Structure 1
Amino acid sequence: MKTKFLLISLLFFITPVVWAEPCTELLNYKMTKLRSREQVDFCQAYQGKIILAVNTASNCGYTGQFKGLEALYQKYKDQGLVILGFPSNDFNQEFAEEAKTAKVCYINYGVTFPMFQTSKIKSPNANKFFQDLIESTGKAPEWNFYKYLISSNGKNISAFESSVTPEQLDAKIQALITTQ
């Protein structure tokens, strides 16, 4: 019996303790998925990932960017990229009905990256995630399909105008993947 106790005690002291890295304040957020009741804890789901956050709209001249966003997601999702879509009617180009928004995303453009319920993305009423992005970069979305690229440690955040296409972000995403 003493031998077992000694062995267990010894294993406890020589086994390395693995501590989870605390979540960045930016990811201390929960939101419900589009056309769902499932709530996503951003810390649990996206900590350690490179994030491209995009405010979207179904009836915008930039809506075709969904195709490029999905292509980026498919290309880099296994290397740590996640794209997060945030439908918003802040620029009066999103449907009031979530079912219509979901149809544009999932049926018309085949989006498989996470999309969330319609929310505000402009200050001062922006959802907390966008409030933090705006505060971190000093740049608020000026239109639909404004993009924020966030490094895997959450410390480097870059903002991109709506006119910057997903394809133009490819090299920046590759660079973040290489340095993570």
Structure 2
Amino acid sequence: MHRVSRRRAIVTGAAALALGAPRAGAAEPVPDFEFASIDGGVLRLSAYRGGPVLVVNTASRCGYTKQYSGLQALYDRYRARGLTVLAVPSGDFRQELGSDAEVKAFCELTFGLDLPMTTLTPVRGPQAHPFYAWLKTTAGFEPTWNFNKVLLDGEGRVADVFGSAAKPQSRQITDRITALLDAK
């Protein structure tokens, strides 16, 4: 690894540790969890295997809500190469609209979202969705606020995590995504 990449890896690793992100030994693939889709039906994580998946807990009334534009742009840029961006709206931080219909309308009208999105989903605490409970137990990661990002590799392993302030189109995130896409 050359110096710049090594330094970036150390910085990313330090940031991940600060977030309570993946511990050593958290290399097992995520089980095939299902999420209820905001469009009806089910979203299965196994359907996205083979390419990286960026799972983001979102909220419509948060200071980071404008990141929806960046998430859609990231999805548009890399989806043909195999990236999936999965938005997981959650009211855990009391900044989400009251219903799935309101969230869907807001995201479509305000941001033109067409990326996969779940129904309103708890992401922390005893009611957390099984995916997030698994992340906490296995990888030592639990969202600390809205727009925390979990990057899964093509085999479904936790590759990295990013905090709320990490912009979806930042080099920090796009470098990790392109590395995963180039490795497939």
Normalization by structure 1: what TM-score? 0.81
Letter of the 1:130 partner, please give it.
Y
Letter of the 1:40 partner, please give it.
L
Shift of 1:27: 4.2
Letter of the 1:32 partner, please give it.
A
Q: Deviations over 1:106-156 (max 9, x none)?
A: 111011110000010013321011122233431210100000011101234
The answer to whether the 8 A contact 1:56-1:144 is kept is yes
Report what 1:81 is aligned to. 83
Identity across matched positions, percent: 34
Aligned-partner SS, 1:26: coil
Match of 1:32 among 18, 36, 43: 36
The answer to whether the 8 A contact 1:122-1:140 is kept is yes
The answer to whether the 8 A contact 2:99-2:120 is kept is no
Is 1:63 matched with 2:65?
yes
Q: Separation in 2 of the partners of 1:162 and 1:107?
A: 23
Q: Can you give the 5+ residue segments of structure 2 that lack an aligned partner in the other structure?
A: 1-27
Q: Separation in 1 of the partners of 2:51 and 2:123?
A: 22
The answer to whether the 8 A contact 2:30-2:157 is kept is no
Q: Separation in 2 of the partners of 1:127 and 1:49?
A: 22
The answer to whether the 8 A contact 1:49-1:152 is kept is yes
Report what 1:159 is aligned to. 161
Cα–Cα, structure 1 residues 137 and 157, in superposed 2: closer, same or farther, change >3 Å? farther
Report what 1:124 is aligned to. 126
The answer to whether the 8 A contact 1:133-1:148 is kept is no
User: Using CA pairs below 8 Å that are at least 6 residues apart, which structure has the higher relative contact order?
Assistant: 2
Q: Separation in 1 of the partners of 2:147 and 2:137?
A: 18
Count of residues paired in the alignment: 155
Report what 2:178 is aligned to. 174
The answer to whether the 8 A contact 1:27-1:46 is kept is no
Matches within 5 A, 1:89-108: 89-108=91-110
Q: Can you give the 5+ residue segments of structure 1 that lack an aligned partner in the other structure?
A: 1-23
The answer to whether the 8 A contact 2:30-2:158 is kept is no
Aligned-partner SS, 2:55: strand
Q: Deviations over 1:28-53 (max 9, x none)?
A: 1222211x33122322x212120000
Aligned-partner SS, 1:76: helix
Aligned-partner SS, 2:151: strand
The answer to whether the 8 A contact 1:68-1:166 is kept is yes
Report what 2:21 is aligned to. none
Normalization by structure 2: what TM-score? 0.79
Q: Superposition RMSD on alpha carbons, in Å?
A: 1.5
Structure 1 stretches of at least 4 aligned residues deviating more than 4 Å after TM superposition? none
The answer to whether the 8 A contact 2:52-2:83 is kept is yes
Cα–Cα, structure 1 residues 65 and 166, in superposed 2: closer, same or farther, change >3 Å? same
